[in-house]
Amino acid sequence: MRGITSAAAVQADGTRVTKSASVRVEGLKKAIGGATLLANVDLHVNAGEFVTLLGASGSGKTSTLMAIAGFLTPDAGRITVGDRDVTRVPPGRERDMGIVFQNYALFPHMTVAQNVAYPLKVRHLPRQQIKARVARVLELVQLTPLADRKPAWLSGGQQQRVALARALVFEPSVLLMDEPMGALDVRLKEELQWEIRRLQREIGATVIYVTHDQHEAMLLSDRVALMRDGRIEQYSTAQELYQRPETLFAARFLGDSNLLKGRLSHTAGPALEVAGTHLRLPAEQADGKEDGALCAALLRPEVLAIQPAGLLEEPSPGCCIAGMVKDLAFVGQSIRYEFECELMDGTMLIQQVARSGHTQLSPGSRAVVSWDPRDIHLIKMDGSHG
Ligand SMILES: Nc1ncnc2c1ncn2[C@@H]1O[C@H](COP(=O)(O)OP(=O)(O)OP(=O)(O)O)[C@@H](O)[C@H]1O
């Protein structure tokens, strides 16, 4: 369903649950008083795609979502859904978007079924059609047995599923979700994450989802838009964002990052000169970058191997560093080491290894950290990258 303007997810019985549409955001800007909410946001979401806006608090995720929903009028820019320009369309029916917020906003005096039926009632659908659609959507979110309960008698996760059903029932072309799991405990959150993932794949809805939780973003999304200061820093699959971040900010935002900064040298094969040590680079990483360019080599913890000093059979020049274990911690199934490099002004490398079959090192042990140069990702730094 990807790459097309709109698509319909059809049930086995021939009825449609939702019709997905693409969303295009171009040059979105918004300032209130002296504060810049949106500096310049560009985003294209394909029909049926699950896109997450990920970022720290205040980076502009909610503002972007509210502008798409129509609750925030942009100072500049354009929002298109399918081939409709909706920039100035008021929020609500004409906008044709389902919205799920962190606080479920259910009507406390209505039952689950009545809550879900509400958007259809205000659209004056015939009673029989309302009944059928509510039944189908409740089945989809696995709430049929609780149809007659009031929200006060539901768990947080169940309430959020009601909110989800209510947003889906009128078959919106786009589903917007703002931190819908924010108020749930970890176990419920995990459960609902898998459910939202299953549901979205099943019905083929276009989803734009806001979270500051990187694990949630990675689990759910086809693509992630990493936001920073009212702009999108990088827009790619979660895997690309993790393995090939374009900036130091992106590298640091997702997961643990070991960043070794130095200057590029092509003199004796491509290498990064870091405090007098030449780290070997794969040719394709160095290609197109000039000699002396300031770069950072990103090594994720899981690509590093750590061994007691002297054990490494053939220390490979340019892809290992000697030093000392500063600290270690047990983190469930793995051990996390902090390693102080000998040659690099105290640069600390973090390494995480599976516990089983690993010789345990202790703080103060001399050790060697090594890697395969192909696992290096090189980031070119300029003035704006700290
Ligand atoms: N009504 C407003 N008036 C002035 N500034 C605002 C207003 N709403 C938001 N801001 C500011 O705009 C910036 C972006 O806010 P926004 O809520 O979009 O960020 P966010 O990434 O969703 O953050 P959070 O994760 O905390 O919800 C923040 O610096 C915020 O303080």
Predicted model pTM: 0.86
Residues linked to residue 312 through DSSP beta bridges, in sequence order: none
Residues 264-321 pLDDT 10s: 988 878 899 988 888 999 888 888 888 899 999 999 988 888 888 876 555 677 888 8
Q: Which of 217, 244, 271 is the last residue of a domain?
A: 244
Residues 343-362 pLDDT 10s: 666 667 777 776 555 566 88
Residues in the chain: 386
Q: Does any ligand 1 atom lie closer than 6 A to the CB of residue 55?
A: yes
43-73 b/e (C-beta count within 10 Å ≥ 16 → b): bebbbbbbbbbbbeeebbbbbbbbbbbbebe
Q: Which of 28, 37, 232 to mutate to test the pocket of ligand 1 (most atoms within 8 A of CB)?
A: 37
**CATH code at position 320:** 2.40.50.100
| Host domain of residue 283 | 256-380
**What one-character DSSP code corresponds to residue 311?**
-
Same domain, 190 and 102: yes
- The reply to whether 386 falls in a domain is no
Give the integer Cα–Cα distance in Å for 260 and 113. Answer: 56
Q: Does any ligand 1 atom lie closer than 6 A to the CB of residue 182?
A: no
Q: Which of 244, 269, 290 is the last residue of a domain?
A: 244
- The reply to whether 352 falls in a domain is yes
More confident residue, 127 or 336: 127
Return the pLDDT at 310: 74
Q: Which of 198, 220, 244 is the last residue of a domain?
A: 244
Return the pLDDT at 12: 47
* Location of structure tokens 């980031």: 379
Burial class (CB in 10 A: 0-12, 13-18, 19+), 240: middle
CA of 274 to the centre of ligand 1 (A): 39
- What is the position in ligand 1's atom list of the atom closest to the CA of 36? 12
**CATH code at position 127:** 3.40.50.300
- The reply to whether 5 falls in a domain is no
- What is the position in ligand 1's atom list of the atom closest to the CA of 63? 18
Q: How many structural domains does the chain have? A: 2
- The reply to whether 249 falls in a domain is no
- The reply to whether 193 falls in a domain is yes
Q: Does any ligand 1 atom lie closer than 6 A to the CB of residue 231?
A: no
Same domain, 131 and 279: no
> Which ipTM did the prediction report?
0.94
Same domain, 74 and 203: yes
